[in-house]
Amino acid sequence: MKRLVSEYKKRKNEIKRRLKEFSAFRGAKDEDIFSELCFCLLTPQSKAVYCDKAVKELKCSGLLFRGSKNIIKEILRGNVRFHNKKAEYLVGARELLGLGGKLNIKNKLDTKDTFKAREWLVRNIKGLGYKEASHFLRNIGLGKDMAIIDRHILKNMKRYGAIRKIPASVTKGNYINMEDAMRNFSKKVKIPMEELDLLFWSSQTGFVFK
């Protein structure tokens, strides 16, 4: 536990800076929020830095907002695993969130109840599970009390005794249970939940990202 607290002190300012950047998304344009959603759709079983690179390329070229599935998958190829399926997810999300040809994300999300917003995202956006929906909401400044449960987080939760064992698979039920366990651990070590998430992630990767 001392090692965790020591690591937190070392990275605390950097983590708080990153979270402040996420909070700025609350006033962002729908196109920027959609870009963040696309990043989260790409992350399963792929490296975050490569997903970010792919989204930036698609956004700068305008293909993120008007490109076909076939064109998008070629940009994703080599950077993102399962590029065919994920290109389909991006186009599907764009079609769902488009209204009269214009992106309309803010009006779709219940920003007063972020857990309801997460349920809506998981239920309506193909390719988005609880981890990805939580990741998206955190990255746009709305997921303060949510955990982004992935292998990095689970390893650290087990390492520090927050859970006894890592589940073989993460269903909705055990996702919520893992999230509760992390919330309780967060209170125990007196590190805010959203900061603990980035601390765990950076302890595995060596840097704070998103």
pTM reported for the whole predicted model: 0.90
Contact assessment for residue 121 and residue 111, using Cβ atoms and an 8 Å cutoff? no
The catalytically annotated residue of 131, 158, 180, 188 is 131
Structural domains in the chain, sorted by start: 2-23+146-205 (1.10.1670.10), 28-139 (1.10.340.30)
pLDDT for residue 107: 77
Most confidently modeled range among 17-31, 55-69, 134-148: 55-69
Top pLDDT among 173 and 101 is at: 173
* Number of other residues whose CB lies within 10 A of the CB of residue 167: 14
Contact assessment for residue 195 and residue 146, using Cβ atoms and an 8 Å cutoff? no
Mean pLDDT of all residues in 145-154:
89
Q: How far apart are CA 187 and CA 88, in angstroms?
A: 40
Q: How far apart are CA 114 and CA 118, in angstroms?
A: 6
* Number of other residues whose CB lies within 10 A of the CB of residue 23: 12
Please, which residues bridge with residue 98 across strands? 103
Q: How far apart are CA 21 and CA 46, in angstroms?
A: 23
The catalytically annotated residue of 52, 86, 150, 210 is 150
Percent of the chain's residues with pLDDT above 70: 99
Whether the pLDDT of residue 157 is over 90: the answer is: yes
Question: 87 is written with which tokens?
Answer: 């290109």
- Does residue 131 carry a catalytic annotation? yes
Contact assessment for residue 111 and residue 75, using Cβ atoms and an 8 Å cutoff? no
pLDDT in tens, 55-91: 999 999 999 999 999 999 999 998 899 999 999 999 9
